[in-house]
Amino acid sequence: METNEKEYVVSVLARNHTGVLLRISGLFSRRCYNIMSIVAAQTEDPGVSQIIIVVRGDERIIRQVDKQLGKLYDVIGVRVLEKEDSVIREYLLLKVGGNAGEIDAIVNIANMFKASILDVSQNTLILELAGDTHTLNSFIELLRPHGILKIIRTGRTAMERGAASEETL
């Protein structure tokens, strides 16, 4: 059976109150929709939070997500972002181990991706990179043979390009 599932990026504006994120994630849990990533932060208005949710499903599921999120009291607006009309990025911190002979190769990979070196110790480096998911995955795979010790990723965040505005939610 062929599936039409894909990843959708959902932008939610919500009142910045205790429990709002719990109610939003609970909505997904009750309907057995898996959240691939979720990023939430206060906007320029301290009373409003921007929540970016990546969910996998088909068009029926995403329509249902849109509809159900819109019914929540503290939700101000919901928009399913189109990849071609949005900037979608993720942030990565990566700690890699390496002996003196490997450090040059690790630094070369970091430079190739324009990653920042945040910390250098005798046997480890901490690297920072922001980019799309594919870029981060490629960076990780090139560093894997050098001994990745830890990876921290934020999950995706997104903003519509051009004149499109969250004010129109």
Q: How far is CA 6 from the centre of its chain?
A: 16
- Within this chain, domains 6-81 and 87-159 share the same CATH topology: yes
* Residue 164: predicted pLDDT: 60
Strand bridging mode 35-42 / 6-15 = unpaired
- Least confident range from 30-34, 62-66, 107-111, 143-147: namely 30-34
Contact predicate 145/27, CB 8 Å: no
pLDDT at 5: 86
**Residue ranges of domains in the chain:** 6-81, 87-159
Integer Cα distance of 50 and 33 in angstroms = 20
What is the tens place of the pLDDT at every residue in 80-132?
Answer: 999 889 999 999 999 998 777 788 899 999 999 999 999 998 889 999 999 99
Spatial separation of the C-alpha atoms in residues 108 and 148, rounded to whole Å: 16
- Give the architecture-level CATH label for domain 6-81: 2-Layer Sandwich (3.30)
- Give the pair of three-digit tokens for residue 121: 């110790």
Residue from 32, 84, 77 nearest 55 by CA: 32
Tell me what pLDDT residue 168 has.
46
Q: Distance between CA 151 and CA 126 in Å, rounded?
A: 10
What number does CATH give the domain 87-159? 3.30.70.1150
* Residue 65 reports pLDDT greater than 80: yes
Tokens representing 24 are: 């939003």
